């Protein structure tokens, strides 16, 4: 699959690059995408929720009234879940929500997400660029030139660039990720995906 390479001025550079069909041109596997997104969101949960049960409440264990003859329901101690200030019955306990997924399924999900973006025309290749210093305004100009200021844009780069990272952190509609760290959820959440030329080699290494 050949695609044009765009400059940061929003115009084509006159060059084209070959994207491998086994990554950007496959039939998307919706179930693999579902499993990967489910795994990512589940693994992000802390699982530290906890409420006190009746055995953990501070208070007397004395039976508060006799068993029979009161005309009301029988009751145990004041820590019962039935009373105000008592423990919670079957409350949440700390647990892990981790969902394990095979590496091949994760890779298939990312290839499916990239292929879906490519077939929808929401994936572009951009020439490598950097800034001499962190400049939010300069990155905003790049977004405007690429007509991506009104949608959530994801920029994928090959090599770590601190100035680029700092230039995007105050722009809510844009994010930037290293090619080795992009997830299926990152790709799906983006309205437009911009791959820098340096990122394509690393994506080939990881997903081929």
Q: pLDDT, tens digit, for every residue of 32-69?
A: 999 999 999 999 999 999 999 999 999 899 999 999 99
pLDDT for residue 86 is more than 90 = yes
Task: For residue 199, give Cα distances in angstroms to 37, 92, 148, 151, 182.
Answer: 22, 43, 19, 21, 11
Same domain, 158 and 194: yes
Report the pLDDT value the prediction gives residue 191, as an integer from 0 to 100.
92
Report the CATH number at residue 145.
3.40.1370.10
pLDDT for residue 23 is more than 90 = yes
* Torsion angle of the four alpha carbons 19, 139, 179, 154, in this order, in degrees rounded to the nearest 10: -80
CA Rg value for the chain: 27
Report the pLDDT value the prediction gives residue 137, as an integer from 0 to 100.
92
**Residue length of the chain:** 208
d(CA 82, CA 74): 11
Report the pLDDT value the prediction gives residue 130, as an integer from 0 to 100.
86
Same domain, 131 and 192: yes
Q: For residues 175-197, give the mean pLDDT.
A: 93
- pLDDT tens, 115-171? 999 999 999 999 988 888 988 999 899 999 998 888 899 999 988 788 888 988 888
> In the chain, which ranges are E strands?
2-6, 12-18, 123-126, 153-157, 174-178, 192-196
Domain final residue, candidates 32, 63, 96: 96
Calculate the average pLDDT of the chain.
92
Cα torsion 156, 159, 163, 166: sign = positive
d(CA 139, CA 163): 10
Task: For residue 121, give Cα distances in angstroms to 24, 48, 76, 111, 162.
Answer: 12, 42, 67, 15, 29
Percentage of the chain beyond pLDDT 70 is 100
Report the pLDDT value the prediction gives residue 183, as an integer from 0 to 100.
94
Report the pLDDT value the prediction gives residue 132, as an integer from 0 to 100.
87
Q: Which residues pair with 56 in a beta bridge?
A: none
Report the pLDDT value the prediction gives residue 163, as an integer from 0 to 100.
87
d(CA 173, CA 147): 12
Same domain, 127 and 179: yes
Q: Domains in the chain: how many in total? A: 2
Q: Give the global pTM.
A: 0.82
Same domain, 113 and 194: yes
Show the domain range for 55: 48-96
């Amino acid at each position: 699959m050949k695609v044009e390479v765009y400059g940061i001025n929003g115009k084509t550079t006159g060059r084209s690059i070959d994207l491998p069909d086994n990554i950007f041109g496959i039939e998307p596997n919706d179930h693999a995408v579902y499993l990967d997104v489910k795994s990512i969101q589940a693994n992000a949960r802390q699982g530290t929720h906890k409420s006190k049960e009746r055995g953990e409440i501070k208070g007397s264990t004395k039976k508060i009234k006799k068993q029979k003859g009161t005309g009301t329901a029988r009751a145990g101690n004041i820590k019962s879940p039935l009373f105000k200030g008592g423990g919670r019955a079957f409350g949440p306990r700390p647990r892990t929500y981790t969902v394990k997924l095979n590496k091949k399924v994760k890779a298939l999900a990312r290839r499916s997400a990239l292929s879906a973006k490519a077939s929808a025309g929401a994936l572009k290749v951009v020439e490598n660029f950097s800034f001499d210093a962190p400049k939010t305004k300069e990155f905003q100009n790049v977004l405007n030139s690429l007509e991506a200021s009104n949608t959530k844009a994801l920029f994928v780069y090959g090599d770590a660039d601190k100035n680029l990272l700092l230039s995007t952190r105050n722009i809510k509609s844009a994010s930037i990720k290293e090619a080795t760290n992009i997830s299926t959820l990152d790709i799906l959440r983006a309205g437009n995906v911009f791959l820098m030329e340096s990122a394509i080699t690393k994506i080939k290494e990881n997903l081929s």
